[in-house]
Amino acid sequence: MKISDVVYSAGRSGYFNKDLLALKSHGRNNGSFVDGEPLTPGYKAIVQPGAILSVMLVLEDGSLAIGECADVIFSGLAGRDPLFAPAEHLPVLQSTVRAWLTGRDVTVFRSNADDIDRLEVEGHRLHTALRYGLTQALLAATALAARKTPAEVIAAEYGSTLGTKPVDLLASCHRGDALQLDRVIMKQAAVLPHASFTLAEDLGPNAIVLTDYVRSIAKRIREVGAPGYKPRIHLDLYGTLGDLFGDDLEGLANYMAGLVKEAAPFELLLESPVVAPTQARQIDVFKTLKRLLAERDAPVRLIADEWCNTLEDIRLFTEAGASDYVQIKTPDLGGINNSIEAVLFCKANGMRCCLGGTANETDLSARLTAQIALATGPDFMLTKPGIGADEGIMILTNEMLRTLAIVEHRN
């Protein structure tokens, strides 16, 4: 089965792009807007609507295989590619990439994905968002040609074992939405609520706001959660605890040891409590925090995100034992072949992982991520697109259940 043509269409993502440097430097909240001038190249405003680009491969039999190019909310930060602007990439897509795709045999996914992920134009690899969407489309094409689900294609080509039940979900909620928190408790999300703290001032004096928030989540789960329901509490801190405590890692460890008690009896997972200025410093800080927390018998689980963007980065953090989990932020890894390999590498080397991504994706990229999860078995995956957890839970759960039903029917 070969590709006969390629069609592109620019569209909307499920969320926004945010210039975190400007947000932390001088941004002034104005509802959903943030007043002030952006600092990160490519941004026209500190907060702006996210954009995606659909890649539609027309196959010889007339069927369509679709992938969608998207970047993360805080693009251009901590080693990531710049803000994704679809119009800027259309010329290379219409020329070099179209020529590369047209006439290509899609019988096998892995080699095609590896090749497009490594493709260079004028000495540079394609933007990670492009590689993300192009490889999604190639996986969809191989699945169509083989008359299999994408998960079955991945398991066959990478030698993994297809799961027999849905992967746990991390329900991504707005921090200020108590009703949404209730709904994800009602739906028994395995991990919750992901709610973000992006500015040190959000934490309150001595991080009292964060402490109270963790206490309130644990209290609400105990009040209304079903008997036996014991989710993990996860928060994304975007380096705010590091901003508050500075170089006082002993003080930070003491605070985190107290925070884990507020979360009891639920396990506490903290993503990016510190964002260091370099990758080497990030690894050193996380390793030190792990040691200090162990000395305090404080079972806080650290999750690496910033500076852990690529397959090579994930291997580096894993080999260094620099965190308890890594977030495999799918758009940041470029080709989905890298996300597949990242999960399998983590599992083979004792690193727990979240197959994540960003609210700034689409329903289609989320469904393909669910296929990857079934084929590779991460510890949990992030609900997406958007930060309305209801929609993400629906999209990912139903995609996994449909796939499992199809596979069971065939067997």
Contact 224, 231 (CB under 8 A): no
CA nearest neighbour of 300 among 335, 360, 254, 345: 254
Residue 188 DSSP one-character state: T
Residue 96 DSSP one-character state: I
Mention every residue, 6+ apart, whose C-beta is less than 8 A from residue 407.
149, 151, 152, 162
- CA–CA dist 339, 32 (Å, integer): 31
Alpha helices (runs of H) in 26-70, residue ranges in sequence order: none
First and final CA of the chain: distance in angstroms? 25
Give the helix/strand (H/E) hosting 409.
helix 389-410
Task: Report the SS3 class of residue 261.
Answer: helix
The sign of the dihedral angle between the CA atoms of 142, 148, 150, 153 is negative
- CA–CA dist 266, 12 (Å, integer): 37
- CA–CA dist 394, 264 (Å, integer): 28
- CA–CA dist 108, 142 (Å, integer): 6
- Where in the sequence numbering do the catalytic residues fall? 329
CA nearest neighbour of 166 among 194, 187, 145, 143: 187
